[in-house]
Amino acid sequence: MNLMQAFKMAFKSIASKKMRSFLTMLGIIIGVASVVIMVSVVQGMNKRSMERFEAMGDNKIEVYAYQYYETSGSVSELLYEYCLGMQDLVMGVTPQVDVWREITIKYGAKTFSTQNWDDWEKRISIQLGSDQFGVCNNYTLGGGRELSFLDIDKTNKVCVLGGGAKTLLFDFVDPVGETIFINNQPFLVVGWYEPSGVEGMSSMDNVILLPYTFNRTLNDNQQIQQYVVKAKSAEATTLAIAKLKAFLGGFITEGENGFFNVYSNNDWSSQVQEQSLMQSLVLGAIAGISLLVGGIGIMNIMLVTVTERTREIGIRKAIGAERKSIIVQFLIESAVICGIGGLLGIGLGSMGSLIAGKFLLQGMKLWPSATITVGAFAFSVALGVLFGLYPAIKASSLQPVDALRAE
Amino acid sequence: MLIDIRDLYKIYNEGQESEVRALDGVSLQIDQGEFVAIVGASGSGKSTMMNVLGCLDVPTRGEYVLNGTDVTSLKDKELARIRNREIGFIFQGYNLLQDLNALDNVILPLIYRGTSVFEREEIAMAALARVGMDDRAHHRPSQMSGGQQQRVAIARAIATHPPIIMADEPTGALDSKTGRHVLGILQQLYREGTTVLLITHDDGIAATAPRVVRLSDGKIVKDEHQEVEWL
Ligand SMILES: Nc1ncnc2c1ncn2[C@@H]1O[C@H](COP(=O)(O)OP(=O)(O)O)[C@@H](O)[C@H]1O
Ligand SMILES: [Mg+2]
């Protein structure tokens, strides 16, 4: 009996046992699909948190400094000058101040408030910063210009819009040159930033940036305490932190005339990475277990049919089948069933991933990774073939009479 | 001489307390074209005898020469060939594959034989016609009566035109009328030159064979020729 014949025989056997073939396939379909979905979701979640992190920026140094009495000039100016002096390490420095008091923002008939806590998507916040605010916070200029040093020095009534604020106020109209009213004061829009592009991050985009010198009027002249310094690289971050600590320590003695703290987001980055690694491990383990459960299902259905098939093998041997042709037939039979089941499982898993992405990860386009898909497929098929082959290997080595005796 | 066994033993659980000598030193010669009934009470070793003669089982010891070949030294491949080409089996429980229709069941031995695709169906249909089952070719075993299933099983046994037919209680599960029909087919095969081995516990059925070999406790106790009632 040749291979072609063995193939035909296998297909005939599959077709003639539709129910059993289907049940076997079902085990594999479910096993593969659940692993594929599981792993896609984890990978999607990891991707999401990395995206968010990257949108906020790497190598970002947060500086917190406060003086009981401002002595030798404001910290803002001192820090600004000091950072200019280490341009080999630093790309920019800016105060980072939120205006917390209620502010209304108007353009034409539209009004927005900084205190609209009921509808986050429509809340706009006012941020105070320097000409280097964009660089420090990873914003990309979409049009117009950044704040200038002069705007800050002269406390010019100008502003730069975040991507979200631009859409809320102007839809798709170019806002540069328009005037908006902030607490009824006219402000000229000089530029706007591209949206960060990360879903669920409207708070990052619904901002209006004003020169930090407005701190005096908008925040009741409270001292600015928070700054961001953007370093050029991870190594530069470490160096800059050391330098900044030394510099601030030069005129602030902790607890005596103020306090300060310098730390970097990079610490947090490694934390995020560690966390996502943990997530991967946990969900990988869950996926492994579901594969195992699927595998046991496959094993079960294959083993349940062993006695039935033992008798079949006895009959086939009695009418002249060689051991080899029986094994080849069973091998092809299981490989075909498991292969088809595996492919259907990948299809179902991919669909499931898309649906999971839509509902669990805010419409993220989740697509299972090739490695996992191929791995789950190979594992299931190998298991199915192994246990599909088991009755053939066992029964074909029996005397035909013993195989025929199986009930 | 077609079948020649000498001092043949089949011993289960040898040396243990539960030892059973299903065949206890049997010698038997059967010529080509004979019709032999092997009779005996239940448990006397008839089925064991047929299984060994049919290469479905191996003897514990003893000689078995089939058509000049020492069968005890053959490997799986050659034994499969003998079961496929030299012997056709008919069992009490039919042993059809339940998932295949009558035609496909009959085609199966032809596939293992390597008969060309173009001839198989024709040969199988002819075999079914021989037993009057060609009109049920596309029925599954579950859609047929016991007598019909046994006729399909006979068609399968004769499809490769083997020189020997071995039937173990072929009428055991049938009513007497269908039973007689089946025995008639065996007699017809015998008259056409096929060597037929019929196993039965029923003396009435054994009366259809010209030669009767009687087994008791694994030993041959009688071997004689007789007048036959032709069905
Ligand atoms: N696989 C087996 N293991 C142990 N004893 C067996 C086995 N097969 C048959 N026997 C025993 O061998 C004897 C002959 O059995 P068998 O050839 O089936 O008798 P018969 O067909 O004449 O009724 C019986 O005693 C039976 O119990
Ligand atoms: Mg018996």
pLDDT in tens, A95-138: 988 888 889 999 988 899 888 888 878 889 999 999 999 988 88
* Lowest mean pLDDT, pick from A76-85, A282-291, B36-45, B210-219: A282-291
| Percent of chain A topping pLDDT 90 | 24
Contact indicator for A285, A364 with CB cutoff of 8 Å: no
Measured in angstroms, how far is the CA atom of residue B137 from the centroid of ligand 2? 29
Contacts of B61 (CB under 8 A, 6+ apart): B7, B8, B9
Contacts of A8 (CB under 8 A, 6+ apart): none
Measured in angstroms, how far is the CA atom of residue A325 from the centroid of ligand 2? 29
Residue A394 in this model has a pLDDT that exceeds 90: no
| Percent of chain B topping pLDDT 90 | 95
pLDDT confidence band for A80 (50 / 70 / 90): confident
Q: How far is CA B170 from the centre of its chain?
A: 9
Contact indicator for A265, A60 with CB cutoff of 8 Å: yes
Contact indicator for A38, A287 with CB cutoff of 8 Å: yes
Nearest partner of B79 among B124, B33, B112, B36, judged by Cα: B112
Secondary structure of residue A170 in the 3-state scheme? helix
The alpha-helical segments, DSSP class H, found in chain B are: 46-53, 76-85, 102-113, 117-130, 146-158, 176-191, 203-206
Instruction: Suggest the residue from A12, A319, A326, A327 to mutate for an interface test with chain B (most B CBs closer than 10 A).
Output: A319
* Averaged pLDDT of chain A: 84
- Domains of chain A by residue range: 3-51+271-405, 72-250
Query: CA-CA distances (angstroms) from residue A275 to A231, A270, A282, A345?
Result: 24, 8, 11, 30
* Burial profile B35-45: b = 16 or more Cβ within 10 angstroms, e = fewer: bbbbbbeeebb
Q: Do A315 and B57 touch (CB under 8 A)?
A: no
* Exposure of B52 in the CB half-sphere (CA atoms within 13 A): 29
Contacts of B97 (CB under 8 A, 6+ apart): A312, A315, A316, B104, B105, B108, B141
Q: Is B12 in the pocket of ligand 1 (CB under 6 A)?
A: yes
pLDDT of amino acid A383: 81
Contact indicator for A264, A62 with CB cutoff of 8 Å: yes
Q: Which of residues 34-93 of B touch A (CB under 8 A)?
A: 51, 54, 56-58, 76-77, 80-81, 83-85, 89, 91
User: What pTM, to 2 d.p., does this model score?
Assistant: 0.71
pLDDT confidence band for A193 (50 / 70 / 90): very high
- Tokens representing A112? 């927005």
- The H helix count followed by the E strand count for chain A is 14, 13
Q: Is B109 in the pocket of ligand 1 (CB under 6 A)?
A: no
Nearest partner of A304 among A14, A34, A6, A23, judged by Cα: A23
Q: How far apart are the first and last CA of chain B?
A: 28
pLDDT of amino acid A295: 74
Contacts of A176 (CB under 8 A, 6+ apart): A143, A144, A189, A190, A191, A192
Q: How far is CA A315 from the centre of its chain?
A: 58
Q: Which amino acid belongs to residue A407?
A: E
Using CB atoms within 10 A of its CB, is residue A282 exposed (0-12), middle (13-18) or buried (19+)?
Answer: exposed
Q: Is B92 in the pocket of ligand 1 (CB under 6 A)?
A: no
The residues that bridge with A185 in the sheet, in sequence order, are A182
Work out whether strand A110-113 and strand A104-107 pair parallel, antiparallel, or are unpaired.
Answer: antiparallel
- Tokens representing A129? 């910063």
Contact indicator for A226, A96 with CB cutoff of 8 Å: yes
Query: CA-CA distances (angstroms) from residue B141 to A174, B100, B135?
Result: 81, 8, 14
Contact indicator for A273, A265 with CB cutoff of 8 Å: no
Q: Which amino acid belongs to residue A373?
A: T
* Exposure of B147 in the CB half-sphere (CA atoms within 13 A): 14
- How far apart CA B57 and CA A399 sit, in angstroms, is 6
Residue B121 in this model has a pLDDT that exceeds 80: yes
Secondary structure of residue A141 in the 3-state scheme? strand
pLDDT in tens, A31-55: 888 888 888 887 888 777 777 766 6
- Tokens representing B44? 């006397």
* Lowest mean pLDDT, pick from A209-218, A268-277, B55-64, B215-224: A268-277
Q: How would you classify residue A93: left for phi > 0, otherwise alpha for psi between -120 and 50, otherwise beta? A: beta
Task: Report the residue from B57, B95, B113 with minimal CB separation from A315.
Answer: B95
**A chain contacts of residue B109, beta-carbon cutoff 8 Å:** 319-320
The ipTM (two decimal places) reads 0.96
Secondary structure of residue A295 in the 3-state scheme? helix
Contact indicator for A193, A137 with CB cutoff of 8 Å: no
Secondary structure of residue B43 in the 3-state scheme? coil
Which of B11, B19, B39, B47 most suits a substitution to test ligand 1, by most atoms within 8 Å of the C-beta?
Answer: B47
Query: CA-CA distances (angstroms) from residue A309 to A4, A319, A390, A392, B74?
Result: 22, 15, 10, 8, 26
Give the dihedral sign, CA B156/B161/B165/B171: positive
For chain B, helix, strand, coil in percent to 5 are: 35, 25, 35
Contact indicator for B171, B182 with CB cutoff of 8 Å: yes
* Lowest mean pLDDT, pick from A83-92, A143-152, A355-364, B6-15: A355-364
Using CB atoms within 10 A of its CB, is residue A26 exposed (0-12), middle (13-18) or buried (19+)?
Answer: middle
**A chain contacts of residue B100, beta-carbon cutoff 8 Å:** 12, 16
Residue A398 in this model has a pLDDT that exceeds 80: yes
Task: Report the residue from B56, B80, B96 with minimal CB separation from A401.
Answer: B56
